[in-house]
Structure formats: C-alpha cells, structure tokens
Amino acid sequence: MSTTAKVIEKLSKKRLRLWLQLLRANRTTENQLRENMRLTFDCTLPRFDVLSALDRYRDGLRMSDLSAKLMVSNGNVTGIVDRLEAEGLARRISVDGDRRAMRVKLTEAGIARFAEMAAEHETWVDTLFATYSAAELDTLTALLSRLEEDKT
C-alpha cells in the first residue's frame, strides 16, 4: 500500500472514530436531558421540542409547518398536540381560507409552563457542559457549525 493510501486510510478511520464519538456524546447528553425532563416535568423531549417551537412562533404554526420545523411526521406531532390541547397548554385555531388546515399555538398556561421548563433545561445543559472553557465551547461550536455547513 502506498504512503498516500495509508494516509487516506488513517484519515478515514479517524473520521469514523469522530462520527462514533459524536453519536456517543449526543446519545449520552440526550439521555440525561430526557431523564431530567421525565423526572422533573413528566415530559418527553419530543413534547418539549413542540412546546419550544410553538413558543418561538407565538402566532402559531400550521401543523404541517410544525412537523417540518421539527423534522418529524405529521402523525408524531398530532398526538403531542392532542395531549397539549387536552391539558390546556395549546389550542388549535382554524386557518382563514382553508377549512381543513389548523394552526396550533400555545395558551397562556402553555407559555408559562414552557418558560419554567426552558429555564430548567438551560440549567441542565449548562451543568452538562460546565467543564468546558469559553474558548473550548467556541471551538466546538465553530467546528460543529462547519460540519453542518459542509453538508448543506
């Protein structure tokens, strides 16, 4: 095997190890956040994601837009929205000019509940990454942003 081929192979192995490390890091972090969310708020991460998206779009989102923003199927979002609506945290509103389309938005109770959850979530994330300096966080953020940009 030529020297160039060996270097390429080494790089491919490093890239593979990086990918596996990213998966492990994501899984570990997500599992901890999922468990914290379950124990503290009896809430799932997908439900938190729906609340978060609706909080960013206070005028509401069509169900299809909500699904697209979360990159999940309409069916996944429908079940979560059904439960949020039953608990008084969200409501469906008809869309003018389209009798079949519905827009969903947070109620005042939903806004308050999400604010409480988001504050705690931020604390958990802060704790999970507390061992990294500001410079390390900037480097990691830049590298991950570049990884994402390279794929688009």
Q: With respect to residue 28, please indicate whether it lies within any of the assigned structural domains.
A: no
DSSP-derived secondary structure for 72-86 = S-HHHHHHHHHHHHH
Structural tokens at position 31: 């599992």
Q: With respect to residue 9, please indicate whether it lies within any of the assigned structural domains.
A: no
pLDDT classification of 152: cutoffs 50, 70, 90:
low
Q: With respect to residue 136, please indicate whether it lies within any of the assigned structural domains.
A: yes
Q: Is 19's pLDDT higher than 80? A: yes
Q: With respect to residue 15, please indicate whether it lies within any of the assigned structural domains.
A: no
Q: What is the pLDDT of residue 149?
A: 84
Q: With respect to residue 10, please indicate whether it lies within any of the assigned structural domains.
A: no
Domain tally for the chain? 1
Q: With respect to residue 35, please indicate whether it lies within any of the assigned structural domains.
A: no
- Dmax (CA) of the chain: 67
Whole-angstrom Cα distance, residue 6 to residue 59?
A: 56
| 127 residue type, one letter | T
When the pLDDT of each residue in the chain is averaged and rounded to a whole number, the result is 92
Question: What residue numbers bound the domain in which 87 lies?
Answer: 44-150
Q: With respect to residue 82, please indicate whether it lies within any of the assigned structural domains.
A: yes
The CATH number of whichever domain residue 119 belongs to comes to 1.10.10.10
pLDDT digits (tens, 9 = 90+) for 118-131: 999 999 999 999 99
Residue 25 neighbours by CB under 8 Å, 6+ apart? none
